[in-house]
Amino acid sequence: MGVALAMIFFVAPVDGDQGISQKIFYFHVPLALTSYICFGTGAWKGLRLLWTGAERYDLESYTAIHQGTIFGVLTLITGSIWAKASWDRWWVWSEDQLVLFLVLFLFYCAYFMLRFSIEPGPRRERISAVYALFGAALIPVSFLAIRLSQRFIHPVVFTRHGPGMTHAQFAAFCVSWAAVLLLAYVMYRIELGGKRSDAQLQDLREAVAAA
């Protein structure tokens, strides 16, 4: 993370068009990509749960989606700051990615509400897993829908001709993406560990109470 920060501010050249505000790009885009990866992981773990029936995938799927939602909120915040700096408005509907994250944020908020309204047990695990799978299907469909609904005026950095960045910029981008991914993974492991020990404690308590 420290290396990424240093690279962003000292190595990557200041963008000629957007100036210093372009620096937030190195956070915004990695956060967004990491969030997608988290949602994808959640869906994958959900699929594994339905496939194998192994209980441990439930917590893994839930934790991944939880991380994805956290990074999604951060994406919304950084995107909003970037919009303020670039277009002097906190929210612009013309920015597809931001709108997509708003939709996903709403969708996954409902995930938590649905999950916590169902009694813990195999049925909740399976419903959560199916929901996570729907999320993975919704991401591309929503993206297409938002694309269809408006003209595309967001500055496109990655084009078919490769990334439109200088080497230093691209390096800084990759390093910061790696840093964010690492952060996400560490948070995922910590939360998973905490949740697992919670569950074990619960089992122990029940065992003691039954004995």
3-state helix, strand, coil in the chain (%, to 5): 80, 5, 15
Q: Choose which of 94, 149, 166, 200 interacts with other proteins (CB under 8 A).
A: 149
| Contact window for other proteins (CB under 8 A) among 66-74, 113-121, 166-174, 180-188 | 113-121
CA distances from 173 to 83, 101, 198 (A): 19, 20, 37
How many Å apart are CA 69 and CA 135, to the nearest integer?
A: 12
104 and 138 Cβ atoms separated by less than 8 Å: yes
Does residue 145 belong to the site contacting other proteins (CB under 8 A)?
yes
By beta-carbon proximity to other proteins, the closer residue of 1 and 141 is 141
Whole-number minimum distance, CB 130 to other proteins, in Å? 4
CB closer to other proteins, 74 vs 99:
99
Smallest gap from Cβ 93 to other proteins, in A, equals 13
In the complex, minimum distance from the CB of residue 125 to other proteins, in angstroms, rounded to a whole number = 9
Alpha-carbon span 100 to 147, nearest angstrom: 10
Query: Shortest Cβ distance from residue 136 to other proteins (Å)?
Result: 10
Residue 162 main-chain phi, psi, to 5 deg: 90, 170
Max CA separation in the chain (angstroms): 71
Residue nearer to other proteins on the CB measure, 110 or 204: 110
Report the length, in residues, of the chain.
211
Q: Which stretch binds other proteins (CB under 8 A): 6-14, 87-95, 121-129, 184-192?
A: 121-129
Sequence-distant (≥ 6) Cβ neighbours of residue 86 within 8 angstroms: 18, 21
CA terminus-to-terminus distance, the chain: 49
Which residue, 9 or 152, has its beta carbon nearer to other proteins?
A: 152
In three-state secondary structure terms, 28 is: helix
Residues numbered 72 to 111 that lie near other proteins (CB under 8 A) are: 103-104, 106-107, 109-110
> Interface with other proteins by CB under 8 A: which residues?
50, 103-104, 106-107, 109-110, 113-114, 117-119, 122-124, 126-127, 129-131, 133-134, 137-138, 141-142, 144-146, 148-149
